[in-house]
A and B are shown apart, each in its own frame.
Chain A
Amino acid sequence: MSRSFPIQLIRFAVIGIALVIFVFPIFWMVSTSFKTEKDAFRYPPVLIGTPTLHNYRSILSSDFPLYIFNSVVICSVTVSISIILGAPAAYALSRFDFRNKDSIAYWILTTRMAPPVAVALPMFLIMKFLHLLDTRLSLVIIYTTFNLSFVIWLMRGFFEEVPRELDEAAMIDGCNPLRAFMRVVLPLVAPGLAAVAIFCFIFSWNEFFYALIMTHTKTRTVPVGVQGFIGMYGIRWGEMTAAASLASAPILAFAIATQKHLVRGLTLGAIK
């Protein structure tokens, strides 16, 4: 159906204005990170100042690279554990029939719904008791909780899209269930698995609350590092925006790479 020209024009104008509103704050953050201090605080504000890498140089010579390292380690380990434990469990939930299957699946889902503050205190006390405060391991354990349930729910949906006949045929041909899973089913869901892994990485990378209460100095993650530019005597906006840009860049690249699965991931498979 063709629409009249003025209506189309209005439609694109509205989309354009909305786009500016949603993208501008991010542009402003990135642009500030490349400004000199003088340009950053100029009034009236300037959109793009004399470009400088001063802020980036400054944060890269601080502890910030260590925080990036911490985040990368914590996220990679968490994602690996969640996938190794979660994918087989999801396979079991999609293939085998057993009592209380749906109850188990829903219980797994509810572990994800609870507000993090709700179990923060006992978690903190347990970590303290185990002498794990201010270690990367404490965050790996906590992030595994919410990523594991996520992996199980999403992968279950991906496994259900693979016809059962395939792995049943493999088992009749003499494969044991593990072999059928590894050799026949897993390769078929590889794109889904990759998307799920990327999601887990994003969730862990962005997590702030637990990172704030569990870590102190040497094990800080990127979000806590960014927040660290809020000082007693004001915020160091230049360095903060540079750190924020560095924290956002990999996540944006990942999100665009998995855009096809974004809706499915963000709704835990409820909408495909």
Chain B
Amino acid sequence: MLSSSSFLATKRKALLFFLLPAVIVLILITLFPFIYAIVISFTGMEIARPQKGVHFVGFKNYITIFTSVRFWNSMKVTFILVFTAAIVELILGFWLAYLLRNAFRGRKIVVSLFITPMVIPPIVAGLTWRFMYDDAIGLINYLVSSIGFSRQPWLGSPVLALPAIIITDIWQWTPFLMLIVLAGFHALPEEPFEAARVDGASNWQILRFITIPMLKNVILVGFLIRIIELFRTFDTIFVMTEGGPGTATETMSIRSYLLGFRFFATSRASAFSLIMLFIVVFICSRFIKAIQREET
């Protein structure tokens, strides 16, 4: 029979045995590169020119970034993309979930079909839309011209390229919010709704004063996840426009990639990525605080 102190000792050993390998691996592959990125960002390093060596330059990279027009442009593009797409996806996703909330025959298949855009590889989604946006053979220009409008060079136009990318993202990720809100609908209790109907509330009143407040947390979580993911968006933009034409669709992710892997401005790209990381963490912590405030 185990004494209680040796039982605790076994538990302690078991804890280390279970937890430590994962923690060590995570530290090695996340914390170490992160610290390395901070160090590089204060040096003048260029992968393509190793003879330049590595020397400390202080805040020079950061100053260069904050004084460059392209940085502020990429920030503007990112914010337009992130917030327009997230808000439209939320509204459309909620609306679709609302339409699908009651069971009907074949609903499971309908839901499965709706989620296809978000599970296929993002690269495939981007290329499929690039095919449809094509000036010459694209389906969208065919539809546009068949209803009497003039054909557009969608992805080649500085004005239309960003909206075209936002539409692709909305197509891809509205099903995600639909799915989440649908899960929220299914978890709702029956009683408040029955009570409201007995009291003669209209459908709109029920939606506005009961359903939406009760789904608030689910909606906020879904919205937050979309915001985080939208800041990371890279694949679709990369295959559709590579940030162009000019800098019309150059988000911070794309700009950071171009700096690091096209222009080989290693240190500047590192500083750029860290600024971006800081912005994402800042926005997310604001949101999480807002959600926690709602909960209390």
Contacts and interface: CB of A to CB of B under 8 A. Distances in A.
A26 B120 contact: yes
B131 A29 contact: yes
Given A28-B139, A115-B231, A177-B14, A89 B19 contact: yes
Contacts of B238: 208-209, 212
A111 B30 contact: yes
A162 to B, nearest CB: 15
B240 to A, nearest CB: 10
A244 B99 contact: no
A251 B121 contact: yes
Q: Which of A14, A96, A117, A263 has the most CB of B within 10 A?
A: A117
A226 B33 contact: no
Contact of A266 (B23, B30, B116, B179): B179
Nearest to B45: A125
A19 interface: yes
Nearest to A272: B183
Interface string B136-152: 01010010001000000
Nearest to B98: A11
Given A44-B142, A266-B179, A117 B253 contact: yes
Interface stretch (B57-65, B83-91, B106-114): B106-114
B249 interface: no
A120 B257 CA distance: 8
Q: Which of A110, A206, A251 has the most CB of B within 10 A?
A: A206
A270 B183 CA distance: 12
Contact of B15 (A14, A98, A117, A125): A98
A12 B125 CA distance: 26
Given A148-B22, A251-B121, A266-B225, A142 B29 contact: yes
Contacts of B175: 22
Contact of B22 (A32, A89, A142, A178): A89
Interface stretch (A54-62, A72-80, A189-197, A252-260): A252-260
Interface in A8-31: 11, 14-15, 18-19, 21-23, 25-26, 28-29
How big is the A interface, by class?
A: 35 or more
B234 A209 contact: yes
A96 B11 contact: yes
A21 B47 CA distance: 45
Contacts of A241: 128, 131
B120 A92 contact: no
Q: Which of A86, A118, A141 has the most CB of B within 10 A?
A: A118
Q: Which of A22, A32, A226, A256 has the most CB of B within 10 A?
A: A22
Interface string B45-60: 0010000000000000
How big is the B interface, by class?
A: 35 or more
A116 interface: yes
B133 to A, nearest CB: 11
B21 A85 contact: yes
A152 interface: yes
A144 interface: yes
B69 interface: no
B15 A96 contact: yes
A202 interface: yes
A25 B117 contact: yes
Given A111-B30, A266-B176, A271-B180, A119 B116 contact: no
A186 interface: no
Given A120-B260, A123-B33, A152-B22, A28 B132 contact: yes
Interface string B193-218: 00001000000000000000000001
A166 interface: no
B14 to A, nearest CB: 4
B253 A115 contact: yes
25 contacts: A18-B96, A25-B117, A28-B131, A32-B131, A44-B146, A45-B137, A92-B18, A96-B14, A118-B256, A118-B277, A119-B34, A121-B273, A123-B33, A144-B29, A149-B26, A152-B22, A177-B10, A177-B11, A226-B121, A227-B123, A240-B131, A248-B124, A255-B119, A270-B225, A272-B183
Which 7 residue pairs spanning A and B have beta carbons closest together?
A89-B22, A177-B14, A92-B18, A122-B33, A255-B119, A92-B19, A88-B18
Interface of B: 7, 10-11, 14-15, 17-19, 21-23, 25-26, 29-30, 32-34, 36-37, 40, 47, 96, 99-100, 108, 110-117, 119-125, 127-132, 137, 139, 142, 146, 171, 174-176, 179-180, 183-184, 197, 218, 221-222, 225, 228, 231-232, 234-235, 238-239, 252-253, 256-257, 260-261, 266, 269-270, 273-274, 276-277, 280-281, 284
